[in-house]
Amino acid sequence: MRRKLVAGNWKMNGDSAFVSAFSSAIAPNIQALPEGIDVLIAAPTILLPQLCQEFALTRVLVAAQNVSSYASGAYTGETSAEMLSKAGCDACLVGHSERRALFGDTDEVMLSKVRRLLEVEIQPIFCIGETLEQRDLGQASNVVTSQLALLLDNLSSEALGKIAVAYEPVWAIGTGRTASPEQAQAMHERIRDHVRQKDAELAEKMVLLYGGSVNADNSSELFAQPDIDGGLVGGASLQADNFAQICKSIECR
């Protein structure tokens, strides 16, 4: 049975007081979840040490939203994977559509980021997804599988087994317009089939998340789909009560 994962992405929100209030509100809810469900929060870099400290004795995992593609050295403004590891991070987003669109993260850069993270045993959460224009042109499957091919073509099955993939249609991120459970399941099935062509065992164990306007009203139906193993939740992860509800809506199958 695959583990379930609900990941919150705070994007560029939060401060120290918010971290304290959020952690005390969420931790008891998460402790009560059945074994087999992981919960993590991806926060801005400056909040990560505090978040790691607040969640140290809880089941909540901590993720960064970005990492340098370089290991160390003269890269002003960057944060290395080793620094994240020493701060206590468990995971890190790579390839979020906002990074692809606004910060020019290319395939080469994203692959290097994934490699740097794997070197220090931080789990990459690799985000893929098509734009509305690509979907309307009937290109959604091809776009998503070619984004995934970056990993499948360049990493071993062993390395791939350490990565979670988040399918996030760009048209559903922050728009309030979520993919229907059927649309999301169809793409997740397609993604898993694509991984199966490389390695059947890997396909069965790879954790696939859905992201895009997930909230407490739509999460149970999305998470009930057979190939959806959890979610990447942006806006709704900023309210502890809502996020706790979303985490509770996932069931172990």
Q: Which positions are catalytic?
A: 96, 168
Counting contacts by CB under 6 A, is residue 168 touching ligand PEP?
Answer: yes
Counting contacts by CB under 6 A, is residue 160 touching ligand PEP?
Answer: no
Site string for ligand PEP, 9-28 (x = CB under 6 A): x-x-----------------
* Residue of the chain from 232, 240, 244, 250 that contacts ligand PEP (CB under 6 A): 232
Choose one: 58-66, 75-83, 138-146, 234-242; the region binding ligand PEP (CB under 6 A): 234-242
Query: What burial letters (b/e) apply to 205-225, b meaning 16+ CB within 10 Å?
Result: ebbbbbbbbbbbebbeebbeb
Counting contacts by CB under 6 A, is residue 147 touching ligand PEP?
Answer: no
Q: Which is nearer to ligand PEP, 95 or 206 (CB)?
A: 95
* Residue of the chain from 174, 193, 217, 253 that contacts ligand PEP (CB under 6 A): 174
For residue 243, the minimal CB distance to ligand PEP (Å) is: 11
Contacts 24+ apart (CB under 8 A), 101-105: 101/170
For residue 58, the minimal CB distance to ligand PEP (Å) is: 23
Binding site for ligand PEP (CB under 6 A): 9, 11, 96, 168, 173-174, 211-214, 232-236
